[in-house]
Amino acid sequence: RKEVEQDPGPFNVPEGATVAFNCTYSNSASQSFFWYRQDCRKEPKLLMSVYSSGNEDGRFTAQLNRASQYISLLIRDSKLSDSATYLCVVNIRNTPLVFGKGTRLSVIA
Amino acid sequence: SQTIHQWPATLVQPVGSPLSLECTVEGTSNPNLYWYRQAAGRGLQLLFYSVGIGQISSEVPQNLSASRPQDRQFILSSKKLLLSDSGFYLCAWSSSSGGYTFGSGTRLTVV
């Protein structure tokens, strides 16, 4: 079983739509969780950390379900500029981050 | 503020040639540093990481090596490149929050 699994997509959604991505992780000792965004041929950039209580940043909401070992990212009111690959990332204390392969989102006008 | 520099941005090298990619970090001391590779259409693969000068951990046995001669310098090398070494090489450092900041990457094509 892969450490971090994501649906590769692509998710093709119209502008203004709400879209959600899920990610599952295999190691129950995982402690930190993040969502990164990667534009085509660019480096990944931190989008947001994921906290146990869930957190929101503008149109983006991240949630963590430790019991089921999954993380979600919800994007409301999608913009064309949201088109990118979204990487789910988990960390076990004092070890390097483990990246999922990413979910590709394409927002269409 | 902290910044990370990586060069060159693109590189085309023949099979069997050597490789040296350099990464430097500014604005922080004793950072944890990482080298990742992303092959076309694939995820990020951790190659090496370092928690201090001269300390290198290798994740993937292959013809690549890494060195950390100074606190804020991380170098990725190869004596003889293979076609399979082509990819997008990314250096990163980790902050106290646990997240990583990546350099802008080097796109290597081995021909």
Q: Residue A72 and residue A35: Cα distance in Å, rounded?
A: 9
Residue pair B28/B40 in contact by the 8 Å Cβ criterion: no
The minimum CA-CA distance between B26 and chain A, rounded to whole Å, is 18
Residue linked to tokens 């149109």: A59
* pLDDT level of residue A6 (50, 70, 90 thresholds): very high
pLDDT at residue B72, as a whole number = 93
The full length of chain B comes to 111
Interval A13-22: pLDDT, tens: 999 999 999 9
The minimum CA-CA distance between A12 and chain B, rounded to whole Å, is 18
Q: Token pair for residue A14?
A: 């119209």
pLDDT at residue A1, as a whole number = 61
pLDDT at residue B2, as a whole number = 82
Q: Is B102 on the interface with A (CB under 8 A)?
A: yes
Q: Token pair for residue A72?
A: 């979600």
pLDDT at residue B61, as a whole number = 63
Percent of chain A with pLDDT strictly greater than 90: 81
**How many C-beta neighbours within 10 Å does residue B90 have?**
25
Q: Identify the sign of the CA torsion B78, B84, B90, B92.
A: negative
CB < 8 Å to B49, chain A? 96
Q: Tell me the average pLDDT across A24-43.
A: 93
Assess whether pLDDT exceeds 90 at residue B110.
yes
Residue pair A71/A98 in contact by the 8 Å Cβ criterion: no
Question: Across the interface, do B43 and A44 touch by the CB < 8 Å criterion?
Answer: no
Question: Across the interface, do A49 and B107 touch by the CB < 8 Å criterion?
Answer: no
Peptide bond into B8 cis (omega under 30): yes
pLDDT at residue A101, as a whole number = 93
Q: Residue B111 and residue B104: Cα distance in Å, rounded?
A: 22
Residue B71: partners with Cβ closer than 8 Å, 6 or more residues away: B29, B30, B31, B52, B53
Q: Is A100 on the interface with B (CB under 8 A)?
A: yes
Inter-chain CB pairs, A–B, below 8 Å = 40
Using alpha carbons, select from B54, B59, B96 the residue that is nearest to residue B74.
B54
pLDDT at residue B29, as a whole number = 84
Interval B61-99: pLDDT, tens: 688 999 999 999 999 999 999 999 999 999 999 877 778
Q: Token pair for residue B108?
A: 């290597």
Percent of chain B with pLDDT strictly greater than 90: 77
Percent of chain B with pLDDT strictly greater than 70: 97
